[in-house]
Structure formats: C-alpha cells, structure tokens
Structure 1
C-alpha cells in the first residue's frame, strides 16, 4: 500500500501526518521519491525538510546531484541543525558541495560544521582532482585486516556502525590492499580460518589519478558495482560506487552531446540567459568563420554560376547531404573513441566499412540527385555533374567523419570538442569545389 502512494499523498503525509506514522512510512520510501517532491514543489521545500528526520534529509542530499541546491537546502537551517544533518551525509557529497564554494572563508566555515574525523576525510578528498577516481571516491567503507580470523571479522561486523556490503576489502597492517572477500565466504568458513585464506587476491583496482571517464570504462568492462581506489604503493584510499559511476557516465555523455552540438559542456536546460549566451556565442563565431571559408570556394566559381544560375539551387543539396553523412560517421567514431571500442586492432576495419558506406550511400543518393537535377534543368549533363559531385562528397564526408575525431584524439583533444565544425567545413568546401569544379569542366555541355 505504501508503494502505491502518489507524490501528493506522500507530501501531505509528511506535512500533516503523525510523527510515528511518518517515521514508519519513511522506512519503506526511497529518498529519491522524496527528492522528486522537493523538485516538484520548491516553494514548500523548507517546510517539507523540517518535517523529516536528520538521517532522511542526509539520504536525500546523497541522492541530489546539484551541489548548489544542496547548499541552498542546508542554509534553510541553523548551524546546529546543519551540523546534525551533515553527520548523515556521505563524505564524497560533502566534498563536492565544499568544492563548489568559491569563497575560502565560506569553505572553512562549512568544514567547521563537521566532526573532526569527518573533517579529516573531507580534507583528504578535497586534495584530489574532482574529475579523477580520487575525486569521486568515498572514504566510508569497511576494510578487514588480513591477519584476522573469521570469528574476529564477524564480531567486528556486528559492532561496526558502517553497513557491510556484499564484498569487503582485505588490507594488511600497513593498509596495503591484499584482495577482496565476499560475505558468503566469511559466513561459510570456520571461525579459526585466517581471512587471507579465503581472500581473492586477484582484485581489480583503479589509481586515484585515473580520469573518471576511464574509471567508468573499467566499471563497464568488468561489470562491477564497487571498486577500490589505491595509490602507487597499493594503499587502499577509498572506494567508488556504481551510483557515482552512473553520474559520471551521464555527465560525460551530456558533455559530448553538448560539444557535438556546438554548445558549452556546462550548459543545462535550466542555465540562465547569460550562461547560455556565453556558452553558445563562441561556437557561432567559429561557425561564422568556417562558413566564410566555404563561401570563398564559391567565389572562385562566380563566373560559372553566372553562366548557369541553376547551379546555385543544387549546390546546397550537395553540401548539406555531405554534412549529414559526415555527422553520421562522426557520431559513431566519437562514441567508439569515448568508450574505448575503437582501437588499433579494428581501426582499419572500421575505416574500410565507412568508406564502403560512403560509396554505397553516395551512389544511391547521387542517383536520386542526378535524376532530380536532370528533371529540374532539363539537361542530362546537369544530372551527371550533380550525381558525381554527390558521390565524391559523400566519400569525403565519411573520411572526414572518421579522421577528424581520430586525429584530435591522437593529440589528446576531446574528439567531441570541435569535430563537428571541422567535418562540416570539409564537406562544405569540397562539396562546392567538386560540384562547381565539374560544372566548369563540363560547361560546354551545360549551356
């Protein structure tokens, strides 16, 4: 029955229900459901949060991705209340919130709200680049000493406040990661068994300096839900949860989509007018200059266009279709590079496939354009020029869509950053050149 509650019913219960009933209901409600209510009714967020226990508020803040919104909600309460709530929030979320604060005095004031142990952990996390494994890991995890027996480990798990996960990491006295052990292996082993005897020492880990995108690829490759983070000496520094990786994947995907569309990587739907303007105008200026480059090709053939005016009608079709074909190849290649699917082993195969697609698509589209141009101008040679130009531009488009992101990636530039601009410029310039160039050569047949 609780699962069938609507958002409005849950909201009314929180605001007007009996405290005991609210407490009982909240035990079966996921924090994300309450978070949805807060997003839907921002005006009532303070009133809703005031009716919730500190531990529930902490869980809600752990679910929220917007650090500025978390800070805004925390500032609804007194410093004493903030201190109690932060005691329930995970260290990696607190680190992200503090990292979003620009004023150093505000950062220090925020840190002072934390317990001494929490403060030290957060300070450690703040040292790492936020876009690396160290920046997205949490220091809240359980580790088991390798020299402990199963009985000692079980007693430890029964008394610790940290909730044990399905897998636990085993370390030696110097905190060097020795391996991983499952709870199943622990509970099915005899009490006097040494932990190292049932530990799987073939454990996959990531270094604290690895880029978050590479970490996401590792999670995807091995299908893990949790992964340890280590330093150069294999000391266990923290763990990364699959939830954090999902956020990284969403963030990186959004960034790539924005960049491919010529939009700043930080722009979102709720960005302000000024923020959106600052993100978009640089790319529009770049596109303006590339358009000028393409138009300069057209200016070379002004005499040809003046003699056969119909060429001006067909040329945008040649360049536009080339741009579309190049974008198709570009999208596949950028995705392959981003996910690590495109490498030295399959690069030649992918290139040949794209060239084949360029030829096949060029022949089909070229034939259609040729027939249309023949009908439009009433001259078969006009159709020949348009068809050949289309085939050539479709092939060039696939080549540009493949090589531009690959070359950018080779120079350690994000392939999504400027690939679209370069590919479109290539197809526009070559499309105009091929079409108008062929028309100039075959001018005697077009007049």
Structure 2
C-alpha cells in the first residue's frame, strides 16, 4: 500500500479510482508528485484535482512556483477557493498574495479569507520579504509557563486537529515573552504532576523579526536546526521558521546569486517570455558594453606600439583572458563566503593575504609558460619577458580585485553577486592591457 506510484499509475488513480481507494492511496503520495503530473500530462488540471480535498489542493499549491500559485487556485470556483485558502498556513497565504500582480485580484482573494487569516497575512506582508518576519509562519504552539505536564497533554489533545506540525512547543508567560522550548519527548517521559518549567529548555535559539533571511539560513546550517522561533524587540514570539521554508529560501538565494553573477536578473525563468528576458539581460549587456569601451580606450593609447609590433595584438587577449579567469575564481569564492558567513572580521586579512598569494604564485607559473611560448613564437626573449611580467602582474591584481570588489560592495549594502562580475572583469581587462602594452612600450626598442 505504501509502494511509490509512477506517473501512469498516479494518473489512473486520480482519474478512475473509486473515492475510498483514492483517498487511501493518496496518503502515500507527496503533493509534489501530483504537481509534476499536472505539469507533464496533457490532462485537464481541473479533472486531476477535482476529487481531492481542499487540504490536499492547498498542499499542492504550496509546492507550486510562486508566480504560478494563483493560476492553480483560479482553476476552482470562488466558494471552493475560500475553502482551499482556509487550509493554508499564514506564510503560504502571504506568498500567494505576494505573487498576485493585479491589486484587484489580490484584494478579492483577501476577502475570501477568514478574519484571523487576513490579520496574519497583513502582519506578514508588513515585514520586508527578505527578513525573518517575511518568511515566518504565525502558526505555532505555545504553553504557558505555569502549566503541568498533565494540563499540557490535555491541551495538545484539544488542538490536535488544528496542528499541522509540532517540532517544538514554546513556553511563554501571559504576555507571550519566550521563556523556553519543550520537546514532545520530555512531556511523554515526565510524570503528569511535573511543572513545565522543570522540563523545558530555557536556552532558546531565536531570531529577531528583522534579521536578514541569509543570516537566518546561516543559523539553520550552523545549528542543524529543524525550526527556529521569531521574536520581536520585547522577546515576544511572533512566528516560527521551519526547515522546509529555510530550504526554499536557500534555493532562491543560490539561484539569485548564480543569475546575478551571470548578468541575469534573479527572477528570470527558463520558460519566461521574450520581454522578460530582454528586460533581465539587456541592461547588464549595456553596462558591459560601456566597460568594453573603457578597455578599448586603453588599447587605443598604445596604437603606435601595436603598429610597430603587430604580434602584440595576438598575445594581449591571452593576458587579459587569464586575468579574467583568475579574478572570477577569487570573486566566486569570496561572494559565496560572504553569503555563507564564512568571511568575517577575524579572518578577512588572512583570506586577503591568501588570495594575493594565490595570484602571485599562479601568475608566476602561468607567466613562465606564456613567456617561453611568446619568446619562441616571436623569436625574441624580450617579448617573452614582457608577456610573462604582464601575466604575473595582471593575475596578482585580478585575485586581489576578486576579493576587494565583493567586500566593498557588501560594505555599501549592494549584493556582491549583483555587480562584482562587471567590476572584476573591467579591472582585469583594463589592467591587463595596461601592463602588457605599457611594458611593451617601455621595452619597444628591444622588441623591434
């Protein structure tokens, strides 16, 4: 009965199985599998979902990409939409509302929610979406600190139908100040008369509501947390962040960083429209065009030198290209280190010295190889010396730039992944041309 169903079996189950068998089998089917079936099959999604419960549909909508959540909900009539959103948690509803671009449709959906859900969603939407408050859920279990194990167990039985997950219980006073956490294991292994204060853990790892989501993810990673409570400035618990929400944010942040480092807007999708792709990519291509003009202007300063030693035009792309590669390696490492919190004040100078050392030694090795090759091709050892020295200098500068640029951008509160590549590439191109052609001009009499 717990056997995993392939797509064909799942499709047949959704379309043709008797109702009792359908619900029995669906206990072992993850909502993501049904969503994948909707994406892959040509069957009408309404037909596939029509016999599912509102709770099951809500779980499937939660698995959908943010920009497509509302489109899935709109498959159902208004009265059933109300029933579906009533099954969704506050953070899921906030994501759903936030994905709707049309204000009228967003308001109409809010009107379908219960008063409690509207208040919860309104609270979540008031926070910056990239903070702990923006990704938390407001459904959690609190136990007052004057309770006993017996009264706690009674309370948990009363609210059992309302609780989706209960990784931890949170102990508070009457003003909702967070006092500690309580594991279910501690409850079931303690005597009924035991006060909750005696079995709770008073050392609570919590996050402030305004903490950046990247810092929150770092805490999940550092402590292997399953769930973290979110508190306001008065240490009152206002929400929780679960590990599945943390993983979603981690994936979004990683995708965004990869896009930014490639000069693509973080929200662009593979199957997006032509207009969205142009809006995403063209601005950065124009910026790159401006930096290309800057590098070209440096080359223009040495036209006379190139005219006298034409072979220089063949070699100089090697110098700038290798510098760009070295700079990109350093930049990628530093951007990721900043994102993961691995680069801090304590190790900043040591990491910088290490990157400079890497640049010098790799530049020396590559420089020697290129120097020998240039000397053999040009039949002039001075040309090899110029090329080797330029390579050494440019790769040393490139790795230093790959460190400095992301760090400076972070200090200026600019996402390092967003603009680092443009500045690093510009620096390696400009300095590479300058070092190579400048040295060639200096030793020009020996190159003729």
TM-score class normalised by the smaller sequence: over 0.9
Residues of 1 paired with 2:129 and 2:208: CA distance?
A: 14
> Are the equivalent residues in 2 in contact too, given 1:62–1:90 (CA < 8 A)?
no
Q: Note closer, same or farther for the CA distance 1:313–1:24 as it changes in structure 2 (3 Å cut).
A: same
Residues of 1 paired with 2:152 and 2:437: CA distance?
A: 79
What is the match of residue 154 of structure 1?
153
Residues of 2 paired with 1:441 and 1:273: CA distance?
A: 50
Quote the offset at 1:183 in angstroms.
0.7
Quote the offset at 1:235 in angstroms.
1.1
Residues of 2 paired with 1:121 and 1:415: CA distance?
A: 33
What is the match of residue 404 of structure 2?
403
Secondary structure in 1 aligned to 2:240? Answer: strand
- The 5-angstrom pairing of residues 22-41 of structure 1 reads 22-41=22-41
> Are the equivalent residues in 1 in contact too, given 2:4–2:28 (CA < 8 A)?
no
Secondary structure in 1 aligned to 2:44? Answer: helix
What is the match of residue 271 of structure 2?
270
Instruction: Output the aligned Cα RMSD.
Output: 1.4
What is the match of residue 144 of structure 2?
145
> Are the equivalent residues in 2 in contact too, given 1:258–1:265 (CA < 8 A)?
yes
Q: Note closer, same or farther for the CA distance 1:315–1:281 as it changes in structure 2 (3 Å cut).
A: same
Residues of 1 paired with 2:164 and 2:252: CA distance?
A: 28
Q: Note closer, same or farther for the CA distance 1:44–1:431 as it changes in structure 2 (3 Å cut).
A: same
Residues of 2 paired with 1:100 and 1:32: CA distance?
A: 19
Structure 1, residues 157-214: CA drift from partner, whole Å, max 9, x if none? 1121214523211111111111101111111111111111211111011111111111
Quote the offset at 1:62 in angstroms.
2.2
Quote the offset at 1:303 in angstroms.
0.6
- The 5-angstrom pairing of residues 294-443 of structure 1 reads 294-443=295-444
Q: Note closer, same or farther for the CA distance 1:219–1:171 as it changes in structure 2 (3 Å cut).
A: same
- The 5-angstrom pairing of residues 19-418 of structure 1 reads 19-41=19-41, 43-64=43-64, 66-160=65-159, 161=161, 162-163=163-164, 165-418=166-419
What is the match of residue 8 of structure 2?
8
Aligned residues: 446
- TM-score between both structures, scaled by the size of structure 1: 0.97
> Are the equivalent residues in 1 in contact too, given 2:143–2:169 (CA < 8 A)?
yes
Higher mean C-alpha deviation, range 317-326 or range 375-384 = 375-384
Q: Note closer, same or farther for the CA distance 1:42–1:213 as it changes in structure 2 (3 Å cut).
A: farther
What is the match of residue 446 of structure 1?
447
Secondary structure in 2 aligned to 1:3? Answer: coil
Secondary structure in 2 aligned to 1:166? Answer: coil
> Are the equivalent residues in 2 in contact too, given 1:46–1:73 (CA < 8 A)?
no
Quote the offset at 1:24 in angstroms.
0.6
Unaligned runs of at least 5 residues, structure 1? none
> Are the equivalent residues in 2 in contact too, given 1:61–1:89 (CA < 8 A)?
no
Residues of 2 paired with 1:168 and 1:52: CA distance?
A: 31
Quote the offset at 1:2 in angstroms.
4.2
What is the match of residue 18 of structure 1?
18
Residues of 1 paired with 2:167 and 2:336: CA distance?
A: 33
Q: Note closer, same or farther for the CA distance 1:19–1:75 as it changes in structure 2 (3 Å cut).
A: same
Q: Note closer, same or farther for the CA distance 1:206–1:446 as it changes in structure 2 (3 Å cut).
A: same
> Are the equivalent residues in 2 in contact too, given 1:267–1:275 (CA < 8 A)?
yes
Unaligned runs of at least 5 residues, structure 2? none
Q: Note closer, same or farther for the CA distance 1:165–1:286 as it changes in structure 2 (3 Å cut).
A: same
> Are the equivalent residues in 2 in contact too, given 1:385–1:435 (CA < 8 A)?
yes
- TM-score between both structures, scaled by the size of structure 2: 0.97
Residues of 1 paired with 2:73 and 2:218: CA distance?
A: 34
Quote the offset at 1:353 in angstroms.
1.2
